[in-house]
Structure 1
Amino acid sequence: MAADRIRALDGIRAIAIFGVFYTHFVDDNSLLGDLAVRTFFVLSAFLITGNLIELRDAKGFTYLAALQNFYARRAGRLLPTYYALLLGLAALDLVTIHDGLFYHLAFLSNIWFAMGMNWNPWVLAHTWTLSVEWQFYLIWPLIVLSCANRSVALAAGGAIAIAVAFWLACFVTGYYAEQVVLWPPFSFDALGVGALAFFFSGVLARPSRMRLIAVILPTALWGALQLFETSDPRLLVVVKFLLQALPLLPMAILIAVTASGTSPVLDRILGFRPLAYLGRISYGCYLYHFPMLWLMMQILWWVFDYPLERGFIELVVVAIPTIAFSALSWEMIERPIQKWRTGSRQKAAQAKKAV
């Protein structure tokens, strides 16, 4: 699917990474970070579903070859910088890194943080989302490559139902801890919505009054719920669930419209080259932003005897070097690997034709 190379989709990634930066550097009570993570999940499932269906429907399709192709592409895109970061942090001899290193290496960070009921080591706290993504990759390709579109869509609906069931269990028991949402089923709704958005992208991208209502009403309710306070644990579960679920349909519509190219205004805004480039390097921005925060805290303390405090100063001091380092990582590591893999695939295809 060519949608993963649409500049406007990179613009969505860029806006999402700004949301992460704002929550982690300026206001940790802001829900923009959660909204950004959910956006990444919906967009990822949307694109991955399209890529897998393209592999499944390709001429000469074989199940094992398609799986190999998919995992090789994902591994080449995500693993080199991830493992380089882990090894770099481990080399600094941070004890907390070593304590859970196996979990982080195995993309089980979400399990580590959920079981520990804390965010140590905090420099890797954000990697729980990457673990959920990889756990999704272990299951979803097996379903998409072996089933017809109707069955895949039903599986996506089932994933949403599983997420709702887990939230319902929290409501019934009255139990809701901060780390409970780190378990994979609590993200199945976003991933399921992303997959369904691919199948219904034509409907979602079609201009209509209903589409406008489907964007405005959930967004307005989401904003209003942020002002709601309660001490009732069961009511708190309902509010938390709605804050997670309400943005999903507007996100799906935005992604479908952007991928379809039916809105010139969105294409111009989201496809603005600097914004799109930031989206292109957003994986690095997300991966490096907490380690960079740790590094800048150490530098400012050692050199200037200045404790870096949360706020717009922290945003500027940490975000700028994070973006710069991510751009360097993209140009020197990620992009060359992608070019090498593309060249290898093209050579292999040419060799097959020659035979």
Structure 2
Amino acid sequence: MENQGENKKIYFEYLDVVRFAAAFMIIILHAYEAWCGWYGKLGILTGGTYKDLTNGGTFLHQFIKNLGLGVDIFFLISGFLITYILLEEKKRFNTIQIKKFIIRRTLRIWPLYFLLIIIAPILVSSVNASTPNYLANIFFVGNFEIIQAAKWPYPFAHFWSICIEEHFYLVWPFIILFIPNRYLLRTFSILIFTSIAFRLYTYYNSEHPWYTLFLHTISRIDVLVIGAIGAYFYSRKPFTFKLNRITRVLFFSLLIISLCIEPVVKWNSVFLAGFKKFFYIGIIAVLLLDYNFNPMFKHILKKKSFIHYLGKVSYGIYMYGNVLLLIVIKKIMWKFQINNAWAFFAIVIFLSLAVPIISYELFEKQILKLNKRFRVIKTER
């Protein structure tokens, strides 16, 4: 029976494209914020000045600032994939080998994560960045350290999302294994409502709630669980999901327009703090379901492309991002007195792809080969 289960490979190839899109969103956001921080707003958004935004520039500025939703897309994908793999293992073998699961996630996350921590002193000194709390990051509580300090320890501030995912990986296999499947949906619902209740409590009882709302594991766990709900239903019975063309255009247009006119992370009212993000997550989830489970896209995107490959290195794209930004600004832009935004973004995008690719091929990929020893179900990775 084990061989039969082993032969059925789990791989959602279109999620590689989504992974890259999410990572690219974060790169553009961080690059834009870095440029604005050092040089002022882009002239293309301000009618030639670096102060006031034009009407069109206001919309584009807001859209770029909302690209932080890329992290939520990562959370949705992680919640779906991790839960689906665990449910399939439980279904096929009537158990989950938690030790092997933890080892697999460790082999994927830890090597690059700790490589950056090891070389952090060199990077920090070379670009005169703020010194991060190494101990907090070593124990994957960097998100709580940022909440406590109320400041971003660049260039490693983005480690907060990895910390949240690690917390998820430590708890989730036990939930899937020990809670009977018939109670899982109820459990997921309780977790989502707990996350909402936590945000509402924080909003009413904290003088400066922003960092906690944005970075606390409980505050962000609901999106991972929403992805898990999709995995729960797909594991019970694989399905297709099809939007007609008009509905797809309407959903996509609604998302784009909303991102252009309203900040995603604006939490100055109880509704915005507790429920607002579900509007965006709901639209994104529907579009992702259509993209991944619509038979039409299987015919259109049936061949793997370079974008699929970039999805495999998306973790590196995300992890190296802030480090490369500081290097580009302080070691290239300032040193050679380059003040051209197009040159800046071109260099950032090139390095944000080239460095992770090299890292993946020469470092991460070699370690990932060890994953086969601890694999219970075949996956593409």
Which TM class, normalised by the smaller chain length? 0.7 to 0.9
Distance in structure 2 (CA, Å) of the matches to 1:12 and 1:291: 23
Distance in structure 2 (CA, Å) of the matches to 1:228 and 1:217: 16
2:330 aligned partner: 298
* TM-fit CA distance, 1:131: 0.5
| Residue 353 of structure 2 corresponds to residue 323 of structure 1 | yes
* TM-fit CA distance, 1:97: 6.3
TM-score, structure 2 as length reference: 0.76
| Residue 117 of structure 2 corresponds to residue 86 of structure 1 | yes
Structure 1 residues 72 and 115: CA distance shift in structure 2, 3 A: same
Distance in structure 1 (CA, Å) of the matches to 2:20 and 2:348: 16
Letter in 1 for 2:216: W
Distance in structure 2 (CA, Å) of the matches to 1:217 and 1:339: 40
Structure 1 residues 198 and 297: CA distance shift in structure 2, 3 A: same
1:151 aligned partner: 183
Distance in structure 1 (CA, Å) of the matches to 2:139 and 2:321: 21
1:352 aligned partner: none
Number of aligned pairs? 335
Structure 1 residues 98 and 173: CA distance shift in structure 2, 3 A: closer
Does the aligned pair in 2 maintain the 1:281–1:326 contact within 8 Å?
yes
Does the aligned pair in 2 maintain the 1:10–1:278 contact within 8 Å?
yes
Does the aligned pair in 2 maintain the 1:90–1:97 contact within 8 Å?
no
TM-score, structure 1 as length reference: 0.82
SS of equivalent residue, structure 1 residue 329? helix
Does the aligned pair in 1 maintain the 2:113–2:319 contact within 8 Å?
yes
2:362 aligned partner: 332
* TM-fit CA distance, 1:213: 6.0
| Residue 51 of structure 2 corresponds to residue 45 of structure 1 | no
Q: Which moved more, 1:248-257 or 1:17-26?
A: 248-257
Bigger helix share: 1
CA offsets, 1:284-305, max 9 Å, x none? 0000011111222232156414
2:24 aligned partner: 18
1:122 aligned partner: 154
Percent same amino acid at aligned positions? 23
SS of equivalent residue, structure 1 residue 129? helix
Which residue of 226, 233, 236 maps to 1:193? 226
Does the aligned pair in 2 maintain the 1:49–1:144 contact within 8 Å?
yes
Structure 1 residues 193 and 62: CA distance shift in structure 2, 3 A: closer
Distance in structure 2 (CA, Å) of the matches to 1:270 and 1:16: 21
Does the aligned pair in 1 maintain the 2:112–2:364 contact within 8 Å?
yes
Which residue of 94, 98, 115 maps to 1:67? 98
* TM-fit CA distance, 1:88: 0.7
* TM-fit CA distance, 1:166: 2.1
Aligned Cα root-mean-square deviation (Å) = 3.4
* TM-fit CA distance, 1:138: 1.5
Letter in 2 for 1:82: Y
Distance in structure 2 (CA, Å) of the matches to 1:99 and 1:57: 43
| Residue 274 of structure 2 corresponds to residue 268 of structure 1 | no
| Residue 237 of structure 2 corresponds to residue 206 of structure 1 | no
Structure 1 alignment gaps of length 5 or more: 350-355
| Residue 164 of structure 2 corresponds to residue 164 of structure 1 | no
Distance in structure 2 (CA, Å) of the matches to 1:44 and 1:114: 23
Does the aligned pair in 1 maintain the 2:31–2:345 contact within 8 Å?
yes
Distance in structure 1 (CA, Å) of the matches to 2:216 and 2:222: 12
* TM-fit CA distance, 1:184: 0.7
Letter in 1 for 2:241: R
Structure 1 residues 33 and 106: CA distance shift in structure 2, 3 A: farther
Structure 2 alignment gaps of length 5 or more: 1-7, 37-61
* TM-fit CA distance, 1:265: 2.8
* TM-fit CA distance, 1:55: 2.4
SS of equivalent residue, structure 1 residue 341? helix
Which residue of 284, 287, 292 maps to 2:316? 284
